[in-house]
Amino acid sequence: MRRRFLIAATTTALVATTSIAASGPAGALDTVNSERLRREVTVGGILAHQRVLQRIANNNGGTRASGTAGYDESAAYVAARLRKAGYIVRAQEFTFPFFRDLAAPELQQVSPSAQDYETSTFTFSGSGDVTGALVPTLDVQVPPGPTPSSSNSGCEAADFAPASATEPQVALVQRGTCTFAAKAANAQAAGYDAVVIFNEGQPGRQDLLTGTLGNPVSLPVLGLSFADGASLFQATQAGPVVVRAFASTENNPNAVTTNIIADSRGGDPNKVVVVGAHLDSVVAGPGINDNGSGSATILEIAEEMAELKVKPRQKVRFAFWGAEELGLLGSEHYVSALTADELGTIAANLNFDMLASPNYVRFVYDGDGSDTPAAGPPGSAQIEGVFDSYFAKAGLATEPTAFDGRSDYGPFIAVGIPAGGLFSGAEGIKTPEQAATYGGTAGQAYDSCYHQACDTINNVSTRALAELGDAAAHATLTLAVSRTGLFEDGSFRAARRAAAATDASDHQGHSLIR
């Protein structure tokens, strides 16, 4: 633990042995005895919900993506469980741009030699079957630059040579500094008929590239691994290369989905703690780790808090977000729909996205910004301290992870709401130092099934669920029952104008940027 935020003292009973300390120094959250809740929030209980989500996916083409029947059934299941537990539940509808592949994408070299490549369709790619010359942009780095986001390939209009007015052409672009959407838009503006974006090449950026464009585009946009992209780039340096790029997709700009919002019956309605996890999967798979693990965990916490008759001082709002995988759209809709008065009542946001990665690390969001580029809004450091203190007392190591905009805390921190949470790792590669600390295998992804069909009930670490699930329960209870607060005057509510809202497009979903 890098800083000391919690105080030690004894307690006024809240529910059986669940207790909190007397008020501590201003701005310091009370120490909470969460033992009884943690004992009731079990791996078995979490897995029971995940098994239901797996069955729903099995019955609906292997997916629970927003815009599909698999998501609708997942939302109905969660809502029914929460109503049965006594929460006030509502489904918040919103429209969103739905996307899926209608056929597997294809990328082939036609000449100077014939070769097929493993490829992916970027979310919101258009359809097309394009055979034409492959033209690399400026700023491609082969071999790769020393650090991620070194390459500026495709980020400026001047990176693209004007496309032929008479012959089809395909732009070859490297992952790097700017968003995938910017690269695709620049290619289209230059007159290209398709875009191929290959991975950047540093550790963790070598595999087949997948990602989202944020909004529908009209031309095919395909992904490649670094090795295949580098090979094609080098071929273009020796002479003309012709490729075929094929994508067949469905883009519905006015699809409808829901967030499931469940409020505790008790607690101060002017001090609301939003405990959130996205419920949707990607179209490609059932999403039982991403993010069946987070949504099943907070559902289990909600049910056990109700069973134990916990009386929260702050109102607790459990939120199951839709369309996260298409750019944090559910949480963005929720935050943008808040009135000014409602915005002022949100005390904090806890976010739990991927808690059971098979090759996991215990990542805690770096609220104070002491180890990553940017701190969260005021109060986020204290939330980080809750997690750090809990893990330190349990004798479990943690690592900070950045508020990089890849999950549903993004819209909250954009409007100045304190946030924090846990993450067990996605497509990043475990280092030898992490393997020595946490176990697992160095040189492999934290979750090798991230965003794939193999993200099933067999893609879950029960040890990670036990450790991170207990920490999630502890933090939820702490913020629910603490008498004191996150700020110097001891108040629990953030200042209504703590930070100006920023463009939510800066906080898109998984793999949207860089």
pLDDT tens, position by position, 176-233: 999 999 999 999 999 999 999 999 999 989 999 999 898 899 999 999 999 999 999 9
324 a catalytic residue: yes
CA dist., res. 454 & res. 280, Å (int): 16
Helices (H), 85-193: 180-189
Q: How far is CA 268 from CA 78, 139, 275, 379, in A?
A: 24, 54, 15, 19
CA dist., res. 382 & res. 485, Å (int): 9
CA 267 to chain centre: 28
pLDDT tens, position by position, 72-106: 999 999 999 999 999 999 999 999 999 999 999 99
CA dist., res. 424 & res. 445, Å (int): 11
Nearest one of 439, 477, 450, 284 to 354, comparing CA atoms: 450
Tell me what pLDDT residue 10 has.
30
Q: What is the CATH number of domain 11-87+264-507?
A: 3.40.630.10
CA 512 to chain centre: 10
Q: What is the mean pLDDT of the chain?
A: 90
Positions of CATH 3.50.30.30 in the chain: 98-253
CA dist., res. 313 & res. 477, Å (int): 10
Positions of CATH 3.40.630.10 in the chain: 11-87+264-507
Q: Write out the two tokens for 79.
A: 């809502």
CA dist., res. 445 & res. 474, Å (int): 28
Residue 4: which pLDDT band, with cuts at 50, 70 and 90?
very low
Helices (H), 243-323: 292-307
Q: What is the CATH number of domain 98-253?
A: 3.50.30.30
Residue type, 367: G
* Residue pair 441/364 in contact by the 8 Å Cβ criterion: no
Tell me what pLDDT residue 484 has.
86
CA dist., res. 342 & res. 216, Å (int): 32
Catalytic residue among 200, 324, 325, 384: 324
Nearest one of 383, 390, 305, 382 to 351, comparing CA atoms: 383
Tell me what pLDDT residue 19 has.
35
Tell me what pLDDT residue 489 has.
84
Residue 157: which pLDDT band, with cuts at 50, 70 and 90?
very high
Residue 27: which pLDDT band, with cuts at 50, 70 and 90?
low
Tell me what pLDDT residue 493 has.
59
Q: How far is CA 125 from CA 81, 194, 210, 222, 512, in A?
A: 36, 10, 11, 8, 13
Q: How far is CA 313 from CA 82, 268, 271, 446, in A?
A: 20, 6, 8, 37
Tell me what pLDDT residue 29 has.
86
Asked if the model's pLDDT at residue 335 lies above 60, the reply is yes
pLDDT tens, position by position, 353-370: 999 999 999 999 999 999
Is 0.85 surpassed by the pTM of this model? Answer: no
